[in-house]
Amino acid sequence: MARNAPEGTGPMHVPFGHIVANTKWRGSKLLQGMQGKIKIVFEDGLTPVDFYVSSRSCILYVTEADLVAGNGYRKRLVQVRNSSNLQGIVIVEKTQMSEQYFSAIQKFTVLDLGMVLLPVTSQMEASCLIIQLVQEQTKEPSKNPFLSKKRTLMPELSLLRTVQQIPGVGKVKAPLLLQKFPSLQQLSNASIRELEPVVGQAVAQHIHAFFTQPR
């Protein structure tokens, strides 16, 4: 049903309402949470991609163990980012054990690579998120925030969740920031003075530090 992508970074035919999964995830809690809700097709040779949710949208999943082990995950992210054929979404397990490493992958993914990063606390939470991503693919393109003709335009929901993870921002302030600064580039270039009217002085300093401190 699905066709292998060249070197794992090319377009993949994904049947309507399905997800194409790397065989390494067979039997995992992540896949168990999706069973019965979406149809799963397993494929060998998807590396560096873990899942395809559409022909040009893929997911790279970074586990707690991946984060603790070091920066080995970066090569996979860079491979997908350098592919002109794919829009990659990075899902990261942010747990008590991996939290100390989260800031590094967040800054590398969002700031250095300009990719979408979505944190989850468990594989079951990730299952729900991936199901949502697949279901969004079934919507009409004009109504689907996850589909975009422009590679540089990040999905609205993914962008919102990315901004929520900036220290001090959270669910309340993120939408306010995106009304004023509708892209990560604009937000990263904003001065403390420009940020203060939206989120206050303390949070403005947190945001400015997040984007300007050495990584």
Write out the chain's pLDDT in tens, 215 residues: 444 444 455 667 887 778 999 999 999 999 999 988 888 999 888 878 999 988 878 899 999 999 999 999 999 999 988 886 778 889 999 999 998 998 889 888 887 888 888 888 999 999 998 888 887 766 544 454 444 444 334 456 667 777 887 888 888 888 888 888 887 778 888 888 999 998 888 889 888 888 776 65
| Structural domain includes residue 25 | yes
Residue 101 lies in a domain: yes
Q: Which pTM value belongs to this model?
A: 0.67
150 falls within a domain: no
Read off the CATH number of the domain in which 176 is found: 1.10.150.20
CATH code of 69's domain: 3.40.50.10130
Tally of structural domains, the chain = 2
**118 bridge partner residues:** 91
Residue 100 sits in the same domain as residue 66: yes
pLDDT in tens, 112-152: 888 888 888 999 999 998 888 887 766 544 454 444 444 33
Identify whether the C-beta of residue 94 lies closer than 8 Å to the C-beta of residue 122. no
Do 194 and 119 have their domain in common?
no
Question: Which residue is listed with tokens 């993870």?
Answer: 165
* Residue 187 CA, distance from chain mean position: 18
pLDDT of residue 11: 64
Return the residue matching tokens 């939290």. 99
Looking at the structure, tell me whether residues 97 and 169 fall in a common domain. no
Please answer whether residues 12 and 3 qualify as being in contact, where contact means their C-beta atoms are separated by less than 8 angstroms.
yes
Please tell me whether residues 118 and 90 are part of one structural domain. yes
Question: Does residue 117 form part of some domain?
Answer: yes
Range of the domain at 88: 18-140
In the block, which residue shows the tokens 């494929």? 43
Pairing of strands 87-93, 116-120: parallel
Q: Are residues 193 and 125 in the same domain?
A: no
Long-range contacts (CB closer than 8 Å, 24 or more residues apart) made by 177-182: 177/207
Please report the pLDDT score of residue 126 as a whole number. 92
